[in-house]
Amino acid sequence: MNELTKTVAEFSVMAAIALSGIGELSASSNPAQAATAPDANKPAIKANPLKPPAQGSIPVAFLVSEGAVIIDFCGPWEVFQDVNIPGRQDPPFRLYTVSETTAPIHASGGMKIVPDYTLANAPAPKVIVIPAQSQPSEAVLEWIRKSTKNTDVTMSVCTGAFVLAKTGLLSGKAATTFHAAFRPFAMQFPDIQLKRGARFVEDGNLATAGGLSSGIVAQKTAYDMEYQGQGWMNPDSNQIYAAERISTAEHPLCPVCQMDVDRATAPKSVYKGKTYYFCSQGDKEQFDATPDKFATLDKL
């Protein structure tokens, strides 16, 4: 393991699947080390070692567009920027946002963000973070494909996995995503091995994480950030989401995404005498286009 792998480490994902392969920050002097000793029997995080540059920082690109979910990219951003390597003046990572244009975008909740770079002029990244966001254009997908040829880690967070999957880079590989998106992800990308209940999955220089806060930190960084959860250390710690939920008359679930719905206000459709409720009009339209496919799944 190289110097950065020894120092920066065990970064999980939402934040940092990417970081899980970057090493173990100050492990030898880690105040959190003792607290995590009982977890030694947990599956080890598969590292994808990064070689630190002699000078400067590792470039980390956060790909954003309209609707980018704040916690999906701000969580990893905070983790990356909180990392430090004793004895080095340069921060380990250089963080920046990338979008199709530098026109302001609106993230979840309406936060306005002005991207640092466009796809055309962004510095070549060694790490790419892809949060949940709007549907990607072909230009965005091509930028991910091209950039990933030279990245150490290209990672998605939450339903950012759909963006990464659309590049074709995950074909034939294993991946995970937000638990409420398991069903549509499996249907849309049958050539990808969906790992339900995985907190994060790494395959080569590609990594996918579960939703939102599915692990945010590394041991010393976690200590510094006062983050005491330890689930991020175990890639299989999301097993509560492994089994599909069952829709009942009392507690109906959207047949498309399996999220809870309110029968009083939810859009609905009747198919073969049964009423189905949806969490959004878009899911209703998707169901109505191929109802038999979803109705069959709902009986499993």
Q: Kindly tell me if the per-residue pLDDT of 148 is higher than 50.
A: yes
- Look up residue 212 and give its DSSP letter: T
As a whole number, the mean pLDDT across the chain is 79
Sheet-wide strand order for 206-209: 117-118, 93-99, 58-63, 127-130, 153-156, 206-209, 200-203
The pLDDT confidence band at residue 13, using thresholds 50, 70 and 90, is: very low
Give the residue with greater pLDDT, 62 vs 219.
62
Half-sphere exposure (Cβ direction) of 103: Cα atoms closer than 13 Å: 4
Contact 35, 61 (CB under 8 A): no
With tokens 């230009």, the residue in question is 139
pLDDT tens profile 164-198: 999 999 999 999 999 888 989 999 999 999 999 88
Using alpha carbons, list the distances in angstroms from residue 123 to 58, 64, 94, 207, 233.
11, 15, 10, 21, 31
The CB-based long-range contact list for 86-92 (8 Å cut-off, 24+ gap) reads 86/7, 86/26, 90/55, 90/56, 90/57, 91/57, 92/4, 92/8, 92/52, 92/57, 92/58
Cα–Cα nearest to 217, from 6, 19, 4: 19
Q: Are strands 117-118 and 174-175 parallel, antiparallel or unpaired?
A: unpaired
The pLDDT confidence band at residue 233, using thresholds 50, 70 and 90, is: low
The pLDDT confidence band at residue 21, using thresholds 50, 70 and 90, is: very low
Q: Kindly tell me if the per-residue pLDDT of 44 is higher than 70.
A: no
What is the pLDDT, as a whole number, of residue 234?
A: 66
